[in-house]
Amino acid sequence: MKYFFKKHAWLLIGCLGLISILGGCYGYGPGDNITLPIEFADDFEHAITTVWHKGADVPEDPNHPDQKIAWHIEQSALQIQSGSYSAEFYLDGRQGHGTIWLTRSFQVPTGKSLSAHIYFSLYSKDESVNPIANVVAYASAQTPSLEADFADQQPANQSKGWRSYHFQIPVASNDGTIVVAFGIRAAFEAKMTYYVDSVRIVIDKQ
């Protein structure tokens, strides 16, 4: 009887090992069980850092050596489109450049050509023919770290009040993860505050 169970135990281990090897050969991974489209929405009703990661590439403050210019991304109730809160983006853009953003990672099917659709509403207190800032967006397998990483942009002062934005960015991932980001880039030498609400991200096949 002991021999019977020992024999079948080794047989089971051998079968599991074979399945593991075949899974590796055929590229099975955690991303292969994910179905499309992937949809995500956020109205900033929870603390921002529980859902997003903050990022910035900003210049040094000429009045305070070895310090960066002031910026923040915080939950706010001052301007709201949906729910009780929005995200306040503040940037001291008096140096004429600098970008601040929020990022979030998503698990996606591996080895597929995808499109990341990024929707959100932005509140601008003024309308301006000359843009004071640009709204930027990003999607890639890598996390953004530089202002230059954000190639997709639209003017932030197209109208006074709330305005809807949509970016569609092609993206692919070999390891089953992509990073989506959006934010504000200074386009004029001025301090600036904007509010973002009603974020929706859809990741689907191209």
pLDDT tens sequence across 118-154: 999 999 999 988 889 999 999 999 999 999 999 999 9
Question: Would you place residue 32 in the very low, low, confident or very high pLDDT band (cuts 50, 70, 90)?
Answer: low
The residues near 57 (Cβ < 8 Å, ≥ 6 apart) are 98, 99, 145, 146, 147
Q: Quick one: pLDDT at residue 4?
A: 42
- Does the pLDDT at position 7 exceed 80? no
Q: Quick one: pLDDT at residue 2?
A: 45
Q: Quick one: pLDDT at residue 144?
A: 98
Beta strands 53-57; 71-76: pairing state: unpaired
Instruction: Work out the burial of residue 108: count CB atoms within 10 Å of its CB; fewer than 13 is exposed, 13-18 middle, 19 or more buried.
Output: buried
- Does the pLDDT at position 102 exceed 70? yes
Instruction: Work out the burial of residue 95: count CB atoms within 10 Å of its CB; fewer than 13 is exposed, 13-18 middle, 19 or more buried.
Output: middle
Q: Quick one: pLDDT at residue 9?
A: 46
Amino acid residing at 135: V
For the chain, what are the domain ranges?
1-28, 34-205
Question: Would you place residue 170 in the very low, low, confident or very high pLDDT band (cuts 50, 70, 90)?
Answer: very high
Q: What percent of the chain has pLDDT over 70?
A: 84
Say yes or no: domain 34-205 is CATH 3.20.20.220. no
Mean pLDDT computed over 37-62: 97
Question: What is the rounded distance in angstroms from the CA atom of residue 194 to the CA atom of residue 160?
Answer: 11
Chain center to CA of 49: 13
Question: Would you place residue 12 in the very low, low, confident or very high pLDDT band (cuts 50, 70, 90)?
Answer: very low
CA angle at residue 69 from 46 to 192, to 5 degrees?
65
Q: Strand, helix or coil at 30?
A: helix
Question: Would you place residue 55 in the very low, low, confident or very high pLDDT band (cuts 50, 70, 90)?
Answer: very high
**Nearest Cα to 125, choosing from 173, 163, 167?**
163
Let me know: does 178 contact 106? Beta carbons within 8 Å: yes
